[in-house]
C-alpha cells in the first residue's frame, strides 16, 4: 500500500484524485478529495479525516479542521492492507468504527447545516477511500435520499 510521505508525492500525484460529490435532498454538499488536490473557491470547510497527520510539507496542506477520530484505526488500516479485495467487509468494519464516534459525526452534521464541507484523505483515490464511506454515513443518517454526482 502506498505510504503518505514526501518520497511518495510523485506516485500520489499520478493517482486518481478526482473529486466525489455527495448531496442530500436539501442540497447540502459534501465533497471528498485528496489533501493535495487544488483548492477550489467553494467556501467549504476542509476537514482532514486521517488518524495520523500526513507527512506532506506543511505549506502544501490547507485544512480547516482535523477530525482524527474519524480516520481509520491502526488495526483496520492494517487489516485493509492485508485484505484489499474485501471491500464490502472493510466498509462494514469502518461503519462500526464510526458508530463508536457519534460525537465527531454529529459535529460534522452540525457543520454541514452551516456550510458545505470537503472531506480530505491522504492516501488512495476518491472511489476507494474511507472518506467516501464517511460522507455517505453523514448523509444517510439524516434519513434523506442521497444523490451521487461524480465530477
Domain ranges of the chain: 6-150
Please determine, for residue 146, whether its predicted confidence score (pLDDT) is greater than 50.
no
Please determine, for residue 3, whether its predicted confidence score (pLDDT) is greater than 80.
no
* Contact criterion met (CB below 8 Å) for 22 and 139: yes
Give percent of the chain above pLDDT 90: 34
Residues, the chain? 151
**pLDDT band per the 50, 70, 90 thresholds, residue 17:** low
Higher pLDDT, residue 45 or 6: 45
Q: Which residues pair with 69 in a beta bridge?
A: none
What's the mean pLDDT in 108-114?
Answer: 91
What global pTM score does this model have? 0.78
Lowest average pLDDT, out of 17-21, 82-86, 130-134, goes to 17-21
Collapsed DSSP state (helix, strand, coil) of residue 13: helix
Amino acid at each position: 500500500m502506498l505510504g503518505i510521505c514526501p518520497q511518495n508525492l510523485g506516485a500520489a500525484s499520478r493517482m486518481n484524485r478526482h473529486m466525489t460529490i455527495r448531496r442530500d435532498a436539501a442540497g447540502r454538499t459534501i465533497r471528498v478529495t485528496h489533501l493535495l488536490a487544488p483548492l477550489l473557491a467553494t467556501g467549504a470547510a476542509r476537514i482532514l479525516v486521517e488518524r495520523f497527520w500526513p507527512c506532506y510539507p506543511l505549506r502544501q496542506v490547507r485544512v480547516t479542521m482535523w477530525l482524527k477520530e474519524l480516520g481509520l484505526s491502526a488495526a483496520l488500516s492494517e487489516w485493509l492492507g492485508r485484505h484489499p479485495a474485501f471491500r464490502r467487509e472493510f466498509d462494514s468494519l469502518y461503519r462500526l468504527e464510526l458508530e463508536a464516534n457519534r460525537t465527531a459525526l454529529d459535529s460534522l452534521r452540525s457543520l454541514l447545516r452551516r456550510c458545505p464541507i470537503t472531506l480530505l484523505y491522504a492516501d488512495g483515490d476518491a472511489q476507494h477511500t474511507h472518506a467516501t464511506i464517511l460522507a455517505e454515513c453523514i448523509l444517510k443518517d439524516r434519513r434523506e435520499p442521497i444523490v451521487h454526482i461524480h465530477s
